[in-house]
Structure 1
Amino acid sequence: MASVIGNWLNPARPEVEVITDPVQRRAVWIELAIVFAATLGLSGLRSLLSFISSLLQPKPLSQQSVALNVSRSTLSLLDLAHQLLGVLQLLAWGGLGAYLLWKAGKKLAEVGLDRTRLRSDALRGLGLAALIGLPGIAFYLITRAIGLNLTVVPSALDDTWWRTPMLILSAIGNSWAEEVLVVGYLITRLRMLGWSENRSLVASAVLRGSYHLYQGFGGFAGNIVMGLVYGRVWQRTNRLWPLVVGHAVIDVIAFVGYALLKGAVSWLP
């Protein structure tokens, strides 16, 4: 048991050629800065500003709310177009991370994005969804009850014919962008800069928590925990698809479940 715990706390570092040339190292840091300034790092800064604004409000956090999927137009088809563009942006963010790894000489199979183990990847993803999703709901309800989190409204879309498929696409887009960028891309690039597995894992988890800070302390802390678990699973298994599947399942249940159960379950806002 001690050896198993030790392996998880201090996993073996894969064979990665560490970049030592100062010019190349600087180029990697510039690449990381540009990628995250344009994607989830910028989202983290916006999330911080949103959280500060919430703290400055006279009402406690638990009496404030934040919606995740909101309408962008009063015209249904135009709203649908806006939603699809949002999903396209998320898919492009994840695609950018995958492309930059490929351009750096990494095959997608090396980060676990090949199609050789789809069945086992899907099963592992369902396991990860249960491992994180069920305690996550309880943690959210507790932190909201004690005033550390805003009330999160997973969907504020109108009840249209495209709402459910759109929420599913949104969940897939979120999971693809986050897991590819924050786990596969970021940790791989930090390895190439000589960072240890634990240091890279913490950086990845804190970044994940940062762009959920708009939800409150609970959203920040809960997603750091999720980042630590997901990141370590990837470091141990080198399979990224289970993370994408697990994250997507959690979001689908949250988004679609809320839309269907709102008004029928007393504890849903």
Structure 2
Amino acid sequence: MVPLASGHNGPVQTPTPSQCGMSRADTWLQIVLVLGVSLGASAVYAVLDLAEVLMRSSLADTTTTLNRPLSSVPLIDALRQLTGIGFALVPVLLALYLMAGVARGIPGVLCRIGVDGRRPVWDTLWGMGLFAVMGGGTLVLYQVGRSLEITAQITTSTMEQTWWAVSLLVLSALRHSIVEEMIVVAFLCERLRSLGWSWWLVAVASAVARASYHLYQGFGPTLGNLVMGLVFVWLYRRGGRLMPLLIAHALLDTVGFLAPQLLAG
């Protein structure tokens, strides 16, 4: 990959609560609200799903499907999938709106966190490099977890093979990338840093949050996402750009969703 020092925003600069015109209580309330309508709720359900599986049987005998049909009627299923993707992005807009504050706009926030077109080559190279490293590690941890019987069997999709199925899976992958990186990296890092947390504590909190909503997949993927969370926050802190993380995550999910379908013909 290219050197980290070439073409980036520089180390992330995070405002303090006083600079944002907020108290510490307001900052915590924002964190709770954003997580409560997005990935925090997913984490709670993931913990409950894991508890149910462990009470009933074992992870080795469990199959988890990442993309399920939402209707037996193909057209209605497609419309429901698109609607779900659209509503899932609303918490991202909420997070960006809160980060922008009263006097600033969302475009300024996107520029500040490095979601823009200023460094397309740099962002793409880093994104592809991260995809290669994280993708290989994910496969290894999944296989090890399956052999140790601590990871569920993951089925990427049971959607009907319509002509638009590939497009829906790609959009789903983009949705996961945007929601997760915008909230558990950009938003959570900025808000926790504004509370005076060290970058080490922020990285651990972000990584634990990322791992928690993957618990339903078993301990292998959870560990992989924990490591991924630590690496992503470190890179974001160093480079000040979220775009490489968005690209890497989108590639991971797109290949993960489509490869089994394509290999199966």
Matched, 1:81 2:83: no
Counterpart Cα distance in 2 of 1:230 and 1:147 = 28
Counterpart Cα distance in 2 of 1:150 and 1:217 = 9
Q: Displacement of 1:14 after TM fit? A: 4.8
Identity within the alignment, %: 35
Give the unaligned 5+ runs of structure 1: 1-11, 265-269
Show the counterpart of 1:193: 195
Show the counterpart of 2:46: 47
Matches within 5 A, 1:127-138: 127-138=129-140
Counterpart Cα distance in 1 of 2:193 and 2:66 = 33
Show the counterpart of 1:108: 110
For residue 26 of structure 2, what is the amino acid of its counterpart?
Answer: A
The 8 Å contact of residues 12 and 238 in structure 2, kept in 1 or not, is answered as: no
Counterpart Cα distance in 1 of 2:237 and 2:13 = 12
For residue 62 of structure 1, what is the amino acid of its counterpart?
Answer: A
The 8 Å contact of residues 83 and 166 in structure 1, kept in 2 or not, is answered as: yes
The 8 Å contact of residues 13 and 197 in structure 1, kept in 2 or not, is answered as: no
Superposition TM-score, scaled by structure 1 size:
0.88
Deviations 1:58-92 (A, max 9, x none): 3x211210100000100000000111012112322
Q: Displacement of 1:19 after TM fit? A: 2.5
Show the counterpart of 1:56: 55
Deviations 1:16-55 (A, max 9, x none): 4422699711011111111111110010000000000110
For residue 48 of structure 2, what is the amino acid of its counterpart?
Answer: L
Show the counterpart of 1:267: none
- 119, 125, 150: which one pairs with 2:121? 119
Which has the higher mean CA deviation after the structures are superposed, 230-239 or 97-106? 97-106
Counterpart Cα distance in 1 of 2:11 and 2:246 = 22
In the superposition, relative to structure 1, how do residues 187 and 81 fare at CA in structure 2: closer, same or farther (>3 Å)? same
Counterpart Cα distance in 2 of 1:20 and 1:102 = 14
In the superposition, relative to structure 1, how do residues 14 and 240 fare at CA in structure 2: closer, same or farther (>3 Å)? closer
For residue 186 of structure 2, what is the amino acid of its counterpart?
Answer: G
Deviations 1:93-151 (A, max 9, x none): 32222222112756322211122112211121111101101111111011011101000
Secondary structure of residue in 2 paired with 1:130: helix
Superposition TM-score, scaled by structure 2 size:
0.90
Give the unaligned 5+ runs of structure 2: 1-9
For residue 37 of structure 2, what is the amino acid of its counterpart?
Answer: A
Counterpart Cα distance in 2 of 1:70 and 1:107 = 34
For residue 180 of structure 2, what is the amino acid of its counterpart?
Answer: E
Show the counterpart of 1:255: 257
Deviations 1:203-259 (A, max 9, x none): 000000000000011121111111011111111101101100100000000001112
In the superposition, relative to structure 1, how do residues 18 and 252 fare at CA in structure 2: closer, same or farther (>3 Å)? same
Q: Displacement of 1:15 after TM fit? A: 4.5
For residue 99 of structure 1, what is the amino acid of its counterpart?
Answer: Y
Counterpart Cα distance in 2 of 1:173 and 1:90 = 7
State the superposition RMSD in angstroms: 1.9
Secondary structure of residue in 1 paired with 2:67: coil
- 184, 191, 194: which one pairs with 1:182? 184
For residue 144 of structure 2, what is the amino acid of its counterpart?
Answer: I
The 8 Å contact of residues 96 and 109 in structure 2, kept in 1 or not, is answered as: no
Counterpart Cα distance in 2 of 1:256 and 1:17 = 40
